[in-house]
Amino acid sequence: MSFIPLHLADREKNPDYHDKSRDMETALVWNAVQKTLINMSRLELIPYVKSVKLGERTIVITTTKPIANAELRIYSEQILSNANESLERIGSIKREKIMWK
């Protein structure tokens, strides 16, 4: 398997270009979730986040317990704001909403 570098300049030339794996974007969103919970002094919720996936317009966050979903929904707006701020820095598309599972 060979490594193919992601040229961020391609995003400027072709706005429809998307990296299918989105590893970098997913890592940024995961970091935004952690950053938000740390800033809100809710470190105990971090272990309940099972996965973070990106869609074209949404962020899907899966948790291990429904009660964690209810708690995390309180911080949806701040998580989305932090995620979009990080995604914007690398020239990625802003997401419109967070879906909880």
CATH for 32: 3.30.70
For the chain, the domain total comes to: 1
What are the pLDDT digits (tens) for 34-49? 999 999 999 999 999 9
What are the pLDDT digits (tens) for 25-79? 899 999 999 999 999 999 999 999 999 999 889 999 999 999 999 999 999 999 9
Q: 101, 92, 97: which is closest to 26 by C-alpha?
A: 92
Predicted pLDDT of residue 23: 80
Strand partners, 4: none
H runs (alpha helix) in the chain:
9-13, 23-39, 66-73, 76-89
16 belongs to a structural domain: no
7 belongs to a structural domain: no
Predicted pLDDT of residue 56: 87
For 31, the domain range is: 22-100
**C-alpha span between 32 and 82 (Å, rounded):** 5
Q: Do the Cβ atoms of 83 and 95 come closer than 8 Å?
A: yes
Quick check: pTM over 0.85? no
Predicted pLDDT of residue 20: 55
